[in-house]
Structure 1
């Protein structure tokens, strides 16, 4: 089977997105947990606009999806994306990042937007 250059270009684009440490960590966290922008702001100690920019890039590529809960937007990994198996393979080789969410919980900041 011959892989088209469009597929290679899309895979390269997704891998480039995941080449950013912040986005890669976000996706690893979303592999097991849905998260709100406010949680990522606390975890990464970055501004809300910076976090939203990272999430927008991931969403535009179809890696993550958003769900509205009231006035809040919750992000999750998009397992329906054609390239999810590629993303999953990358994530399977990474250590868990759940400790970041556990620290948030200990500080009482887990899902602080609800």
Structure 2
């Protein structure tokens, strides 16, 4: 099956966006779990506004979607995005990041956003 191609400009924009280590790590983490901003704040040890800015950029690019659960907004990878095949190919070369969530749980800092 041939994957649809995306134009160079769009690919360059996505790759530039994912050139940031935090955003690249977020995307890899979202490949296996959904997260809320508060969990990212604990994992990356940066401010909530900084995390929200990263998430907003990923969302604006169509890479991340959101669902509301009460007062919480839960973020997930948008696998229907036209650029997802490119991102997925990139993620195939990255190490699994599930240990970050396991460390959070072990420290008792996993926030239940239900």
Helix, strand or coil at the partner of 2:7: helix
Matches within 5 A, 1:34-113: 34-113=34-113
SS of 2:95's equivalent in the other structure is coil
**TM-score where L is the length of structure 1:** 0.92
Aligned to 2:15: 15
Deviating beyond 2 angstroms after TM superposition, the runs of 4 or more aligned structure 1 residues are: 111-114
**Helix, strand or coil: the match of 1:94?**
coil
Give the CA deviation at 1:110: 1.8
User: Over aligned residue pairs, what C-alpha RMSD do you find?
Assistant: 1.6
More helix by share: 1
Maintained 8 Å contact 1:38/1:112? no
Aligned length: 111
Which residue is 1:26 aligned to? 26
User: For structure 1, which runs of at least 5 residues remain unmatched after alignment?
Assistant: none
